[in-house]
Structure 1
Amino acid sequence: MQNIKISIPILLVVAFTIGILLLSGQTNRIGIEVNKNSYINFQINYQLLLLGIAFISMISSFILNPESFKSILSIGNLSAVGEELKIFGIKKGDSWLKTGVSLSIFISLATGIFMYFQLKGQTIDYSLLKTGFLWIVLFSLTNSFAEEMIFRVGINGPLANLLSPNKIFLISAVIFGVAHFQGMPSGILGIILAGLLGYVLSKSIQETNGIFWAWFIHFLQDVIIIGSIYLIKSS
């Protein structure tokens, strides 16, 4: 019986991941156009599909473990003490207030440097940020929220007390990594980097018993990535 309880949420998140990958190429079928910019129109349609899948994921997570679901969907204890994770510079006894701020800065710097090299050598019109900034923030908010609901809440919630924390983090990391095979960066590098991020975000939810740090750190990365892609597609 316990194996079934463990398998169901994992299979659901895998199914949601496949749905995202398949539906991302079908955004034209929604056909919503609110802007002359084709990338903005694409994101509007894609985010609607993503939020729809996230909503289904949230319902399933609630059904599978109502108490854990309600607990996770809170800010949580932002100063909770976390376990050591050397690869991210997290020392035993560090609070998540310190860790969250540090990760927000250093992961964002790493993402920013990578995206800088994607922009370098291309003709970029940075003045486009004036008209696109609010769209970038909106898409980053919805994208990070939806993905956290699917890949973190969908795993951490239902599997709470069924598996060890490290196994939960690893499952979230693997699925999140594979889901970003076609992301930015793409390929094996994309899987590894997204997987590492997924691991530490899952860890933050477990240790703070809340979604804040995971959503906030994820949001910052999406601002940088979506903003960069917007500039590339629009220039």
Structure 2
Amino acid sequence: MKKAYINLVITTLLVAAMIAAIIYLMSNPLFTVSLFSTNYLNKTFVYQATTLVLSLLVVLITALQTKFQSVKLLSIRNIDGEVMPEPWIGITKKNKDTWKKGGLSLTIIISAVTALIIYFQVYRSGVIQTLTVPIFLLILLFALTNSFVEEVTFRHTFTSIVEYHNLSPYISKALSLITFGGAHYFGTPGKIPGVLLAGFLAWFLAKSIHETKGFFWAWLIHFIQDIIIMTALFLTLA
């Protein structure tokens, strides 16, 4: 048990270091490019490339902590599992579902809430760019890498340690909620609505990894949210 909590402390420090790196790299890119039509796209490319490398280091450290058992939780083939009751959000023993059946519905609901918040926080500032097919494909790539980086950092780390040491899933859900939700106060969406949405999303996606023993729903749901957010940012930033 002592080793389990030591690993939790190490992981929490690792996530804290990654948060610090993310915040720093957002405003202090390690290099610059002029490959794309807007400053936002060029900066995002640099940020994604840099944080992707860091996230692979996080995967390696977590793997070493768990004797590589954590790698199993990165599987995107595990898409099913029982959704455990959560009465406070309406999931009870009587109406509980499986991830394979209910995952898509939950994805749509979460995405609709994200889109609504993004509309009020971002779109109302005015659209100044035109979205083309090549640009949208680039945004899809950025959303794919960004969602991977953040899921590895904020979900896979904590859930892997908890699963490896047979601890309560509530530990990883809580740690993910606190770190991811707190980090989004200055993010997009931001302020209190951003913290609440990101915190719930963090808790929910950690739940999905525990219950499916895989990465599929966490990555997919986060990926779709990032498509919504990054598209809005492209359309409204120079």
The two structures have a TM-score, normalised by structure 1, of 0.91
Report how far residue 219 of structure 1 moved: 0.3
Q: Is the contact between residue 78 and residue 216 of structure 2 (CA under 8 Å) also seen in structure 1?
A: no
Deviation at 1:23, TM superposition (A): 2.0
1:199 corresponds to which letter in structure 2? W
Who is 1:52 aligned against? Answer: 53
Paired with 1:167 and 1:129, the residues of 2 have a C-alpha distance of: 43
Q: Distance in 2 between matches of 1:210 and 1:89?
A: 24
Q: Partners in 1 of 2:89 and 2:35 — Cα distance?
A: 41
Deviates more, 1:46-55 or 1:77-86: 77-86
Give CA-to-partner distance per residue, 1:160-215, whole Å, 9 cap, x none: 23520111111111111122221112123322211110000000000000000000
Give the 5 Å matches for 1:207-218: 207-218=211-222
Residue 121 of structure 1 deviates from its aligned partner by: 4.3
**Equivalences, count:** 233
RMSD: 1.8
Secondary structure of the 1:66 match is coil
Alignment equivalent of 1:183, drawn from 182, 187, 194: 187
CA contact (8 A) 1:79 1:97 kept: yes
Q: Is there any run of 5+ residues in structure 2 with no aligned partner, and where?
A: none
Question: 1:173 — aligned with what?
Answer: 177
With over 3 angstroms needed to count, the CA separation of the structure-2 counterparts of 1:16 and 1:30, relative to structure 1, is same
Do residues 146 (structure 1) and 149 (structure 2) align? yes
CA–CA distance in structure 1, aligned partners of residues 49 and 88 of structure 2 = 35
Q: Is the 8 A contact 1:76 1:208 kept in 2?
A: no
1:77 corresponds in structure 2 to 78
Cα shift at 1:135: 1.3
Distance 1:183 1:60, change over 3 A: same
Quick one: distance in 2 between partners of 1:48 and 1:217?
A: 21
Superposition pairs for residues 8-157 of structure 1, below 5 Å? 8-27=10-29, 29-92=30-93, 93-118=96-121, 120-124=123-127, 127-157=130-160
Task: Say which SS state the counterpart of residue 128 (structure 1) adopts.
Answer: coil
Most deviating of 91-100 and 13-22: 91-100
One-letter amino acid matched to 2:213: N
- Residue 18 of structure 1 aligns with an amino acid whose one-letter code is A
**Which of 222, 225, 228 is the aligned partner of 1:224?**
228
SS at match of 2:33: coil
Quote the Cα distance in structure 2 between the aligned partners of 1:224 and 1:86: 29
How far the C-alpha of 1:65 sits from its partner, in A, is: 0.8
